[in-house]
Amino acid sequence: MRFRLQVILALLGIAALYVVGKLVIRIARPRAVAQAAVPNAIEFRVVQKFNWSGEPFTTACYYQKPGGLWGWFYYDHEDDYWESGTAQVDPVAKRISIVRDGNVTVTFDWESETYQKWSKGRVEREIKGAQSWMPNGWQPPN
């Protein structure tokens, strides 16, 4: 009976280590939390990476026109974990909207390359054109 209990506890310990390891790997890797692609127009991604500090996550937005470099926009360097986000494409307005927890947090107009960061239903930041360009061949995570 005692041996059986030790085996069960050992298996539970191994299972717990496995689950914790999977969570650490999921959190530690940079990952796309929302993305959209409009053929012959634009690809847009929201990427989050773990900071390994008191500021938990850095979130950034990237876009690329066909054959071009990836442009970068600042989102937040003290962000909370995104389980996921949703990208909504409006082909008439030529706009991508990023929705997080039921609220639009980013809009991107791909013709004018205008990025808008929203907070509490109002535009918090508006930028035309990338804040910086990533090196040739750089790719954000999927």
Please give the pLDDT value at position 94. Answer: 96
Answer whether residue 75 is part of any domain.
Answer: yes
Measured CA to CA, the distance from residue 20 to residue 12 in angstroms comes to 12
Write out the two tokens for 15: 């299972």
Is the residue at 65 inside a domain?
Answer: yes
| Residue 39 lies in domain | 30-133
pLDDT of residue 19: 57
Please indicate, yes or no, if residue 97 is contained in any of the structural domains: yes
Point out the residues of the chain with pLDDT beneath 70. 1, 7, 10, 15-28
Q: Are 72 and 60 in contact (CB under 8 A)?
A: yes
**Is residue 138 included in any domain, yes or no?**
no
Tokens of residue 19, six digits: 């689950």
- The answer to whether the pTM exceeds 0.95 is no
CB 129 within 8 A of CB 71: yes
Position 116 in a domain: yes
Number of structural domains in the chain: 1
Cα 129 from Cα 131, distance rounded (Å)? 7
- Integer CA distances (angstroms), 127 to 18, 35, 124, in order: 43, 19, 10
